[in-house]
Structure 1
Amino acid sequence: MASTHQTPIERVLQHRISPERLAPYIRETPTLQEAIRLYRWNIDLSGAVYEALHVFEVVLRNAMDEQLCSWNASQLDPDTGRRHSYDWLIDPSALLLRIAGRDIPEARRRALKSTTRRPQGQREPLHEDILAAMSLGTWRFILPGRHDAGKQRLWDEALHLAFPHLRRTPRELERAVEGVYNLRNRIAHLEPIINSNVPAQLVNMRTVIGAIDQQLLSWFTSTERISASITARPSPASSTR
């Protein structure tokens, strides 16, 4: 980085944000001033991605949940012979218990904390409470990726119906969700995403949303801020190092 006079606010930011956290931005720019501009842009881009996740993650889980509810209600309990209920998060069949069984109790605990804090008092979490507490990683994991006969069966009998406009393989769909999931985790941990190929993850978001609903894809495309944020990336005034 070229040696330049630091303004008082630049010294404060370098100290309070820390040289270590600013290091990835400093490597990209010739001056501390521009590194701070890039850091600020990273915040804006992260915010735009997180806004898009409010659509991507909610739509994905609702589409998959709808099919899992219907499928679960068609499954017989091998011990009692009764049919399971639609509520797969409360009464999961054996296959769903094997695939997502570790995540459901944790989501239920988070949902219980949320319902306990409500003004009307504590109540048992409902399906929608637990669903909202499920992580994006769970939905990625349920999709068929590497060979797993159980996940493939779930896809063939239920989950493919959640993606009626899918033009790719289930494995490609799972990879698209995984890419967005990894980007989401970087943002959640306040990490730099300046070199995270965000445009590719925007394509993945569009792929998944479009596979679910084409009208929703049109709305998403017209409202997301990621594209504008990418275009607004500050360019170094000089390539001097």
Structure 2
Amino acid sequence: MAAYDALRCALSAERLSTYGRIASTCSADVTAQCLYVWNMRMCGALMMPVHLCEVVIRNAAASVLARQHGPRWPWNEALRRRLPAASSTSARIALEQVASRATEASEVVANLPMVFWQQLFTCRFDATLWIPALGGVLRHAPSAHPSVIRKAIHADIGRIRHLRNRIAHHEPILERDIGADLAAIGRLIHARCPHTLGWLQRHERATTVLAASPLAARP
């Protein structure tokens, strides 16, 4: 069996067809296999910035919740009632499920999904959380009204959630605007701590892998 046929059998023709379609728009030396390898490398390289971004933002948001509702905020009934509960991925259901298995707030923070933190950055929490506290925990965000900053943060978290989910499910990301993804990650981390962003930039490989994209060979 030819090498490509073996790969197609192992990965599925349907999966490789996406890469074959994109390769057909590139120069002759760019193949589906080449694009698949680069996509895997890019996904691996992006996990470091995504990881740091999620940890930084969830810690910032958790500190606001602790300030507003006390150190036992995951078990605060007033907070739970304010959380969205309209779907199976709602913040309220996520918190109830995680808090029911935990005894410490730090354990809850570590296990809540990213959608929980994104749903905190909605207008329903402007008056109670973000207008009074956003400037304290995200003091390096652009100068604007807290509701404007909060809306931009919500959008950036949503973008990173989508990227993270595609990586986790081994989906193609090579047609995404990865430069914009990295910019959103940079904005979120910088808003909390420019020093941490600088530390990330000294160690991450995503920028280097992106610069070597085979898609640059498109005619």
- Under TM normalisation by the shorter chain, which class is it? 0.7 to 0.9
Paired residue for 1:157? 132
For residues 159 and 138 of structure 1, what CA distance do their matches in structure 2 show?
17
Moved more, 158-167 or 203-212: 158-167
Distance 2:110 2:56 in 1: 11
Q: Distance in 1 between matches of 2:169 and 2:20?
A: 20
Q: Normalization by structure 1: what TM-score?
A: 0.77
State the secondary structure of the residue aligned to 1:101. Answer: helix
Q: Partner of 1:87 in structure 2?
A: 72
Asked whether the equivalents of residues 30 and 214 of structure 2 are also in contact (C-alpha less than 8 Å), the reply is no
Distance in 2 of aligned mates of 1:28 and 1:236: 12
Structure 1 stretches of 4+ with a deviation exceeding 4 A read 235-239
The answer to whether the aligner puts 1:221 opposite 2:201 as a matched pair is: yes
2:12 aligned to which of 3, 10, 18: 18
Q: What's the secondary structure of 1:193's corresponding residue?
A: coil
- Deviation digits for residues 118-177 of structure 1 (CA, Å, limit 9, x no counterpart): xxxxxx532211111101111111003xxx3x3111211334422111106221121111
Find the aligned partners of 2:106 and 2:136 in 1 and give their Cα distance. Answer: 21
Query: Quick check: 1:143 aligned with 2:115?
Result: no
Alignment of 1:64-143 (within 5 A): 64-73=61-70, 86-90=71-75, 92-99=76-83, 100-108=91-99, 112=101, 125-143=103-121
Query: Structure 2 stretches of 5 or more lacking a match?
Result: 84-90
| Alpha-carbon contact 2:48-2:204 (below 8 Å) kept | yes
Name the amino acid aligned to 2:118. Answer: R
1:184-199 matches, cutoff 5 A: 184-199=164-179
Q: Percent identity?
A: 27
Name which one, 1 or 2, has greater alpha-carbon Rg: 1
Amino acid aligned to 2:133: A
Q: Which of the two has greater helix per residue?
A: 2
**Distance between the aligned counterparts of 1:57 and 1:238, measured in 2?**
33
CA–CA separation in structure 2 for the residues paired with 1:218 and 1:105: 36
CA contact (8 A) 2:121 2:150 kept: yes
1:29 aligns with 2:19: no
The question of whether the paired residues in 2 share the 8 Å contact of 1:165 and 1:211 is answered with: yes
Q: What one-letter code is carried by the residue in structure 2 that aligns with 1:89?
A: P
Answering whether residue 59 of structure 2 is matched by residue 62 of structure 1, we say yes
Matched residue type, 1:107: V
Q: TM-score, normalised by structure 2?
A: 0.84
Deviates more, 1:51-60 or 1:35-44: 51-60
